[in-house]
A = this chain, B = another copy of it.
Amino acid sequence: MNDQKFNVAVVGATGAVGEQILSLLDKRDFPISRLKLLSSARSAGTNINFKGQDITVEEATPESFEGIDIALFSAGGDVSKELAPHAVRHGAVCIDNTNAFRMDPNAPLVVPEVNAEQINEHNGIIANPNCSTIQMVTALKPLQDVYGISRIIVSTYQAVSGAGTRAIDELLRQSKAVLGGTEVNPDILPVASLPVKHQIAFNAIPQIDKFQDNGYTLEEMKMVRETKKIMQDDTIDVTATCVRIPVVYGHSESVYVELKKDYELEDVRKLLTEAPGITIMDDPASQTYPLATDAAGKPDVFVGRLRRDLGENRALNMWIVSDNLMKGAAWNAVQIAEIIAAKRSARS
């Protein structure tokens, strides 16, 4: 141990994920020398208190990253694409929460519980996976290690916070309208940049992000591609159906997983109980299983409803819940930052 400290930049500091990143850097006592808060021109000028000190948010520009050691990006893919290369040029390691570099073969896509060793292979940019992928691969990694995985079929129950603070506001506003009997006027969801909007209050919308040519949405294809990349196995068949539901924080997932070997349910339970980052909540007798409202604000991935598939003997079904802004975004990014910091401290 030594007392090396780092110059840290948070890009998208005023967003839903940025807020959580700051909260975690504070709680975890991340070794910060200088903290730079960056945002779009629109949000620049805001003051944010960090450990008793007011920090003014500055507009992110290519030169914002001079002297920065670690830059955490969560301001949208376009911002990352434009500015991360500049941060790298200035010598920073970028941890990018957006979709910009996830499938870039030069950027490792990292969930520390799954492939922490790949952090070392970066060329300046480490990609943080999509929220719905992170919680799933964290829960499945222990099974992959012991049994191998041949197939995953997942249906998601995703919180609106995954679409940002404006989507949270929209759900609350629409819910009040429905309860009060006034007009709902969808404005943001399912996809802010697309023309058609649907009511999310008291509804379930089977579209997250834009449709691709194969009939799947981008969110679904993220789960497919990212899972293979993080688990480093292109032979795993993955199919996803991603659905937005009226929940504020916490994605839930109904996951069918087919293993390559026979298994005993008790062994699977033991494996998951001992695995890092996972909390098992699975006791039908006491009606115990993971719930989004319980997971909110917590760093762990919660797993329950473990049971053998009724058709395929080598498959099982489970229910995986995690706070999409925490393990699904901010906490996974801060975990990566901590590993980088620990490595540099050990080296110096």
| Given contacts A153-B256, A248-B202, A215 and B306 within 8 Å (CB-CB) | yes
Contact of A311 (CB < 8 Å), options: B196, B216, B239 = B239
Contact of A238 (CB < 8 Å), options: B153, B286, B310 = B310
Report the bound CA distance from A310 to B215 in whole Å: 11
Report the bound CA distance from A285 to B211 in whole Å: 8
Contact of A254 (CB < 8 Å), options: B191, B241, B286 = B241
Q: Are A287 and B198 in contact (CB under 8 A)?
A: yes
Interface residues of A, count at CB 8 A: 60
Interface residues of A in 249-299 (CB under 8 A from B): 252, 254, 256, 284-293
A317 in the interface (beta carbon within 8 A) = yes
Contact of A304 (CB < 8 Å), options: B153, B206, B284, B304 = B206
Query: How distant is A77 from chain B, measured CB to nearest CB, in Å?
Result: 21
Query: How distant is A129 from chain B, measured CB to nearest CB, in Å?
Result: 18
Query: How distant is A305 from chain B, measured CB to nearest CB, in Å?
Result: 5
Q: Are B311 and A254 in contact (CB under 8 A)?
A: no
Q: Which residue of B lies closest to A265 (CB)?
A: B215
Q: Are B293 and A203 in contact (CB under 8 A)?
A: yes
A176 in the interface (beta carbon within 8 A) = yes
Report the bound CA distance from A254 to B285 in whole Å: 27
Residues of A whose CB lies within 8 Å of any CB of B are 151, 153, 155, 157, 171-172, 175-176, 179, 190-191, 194-196, 198-199, 202-207, 211, 214-216, 224, 237-239, 241, 243, 245-248, 252, 254, 256, 284-293, 304-312, 317, 319
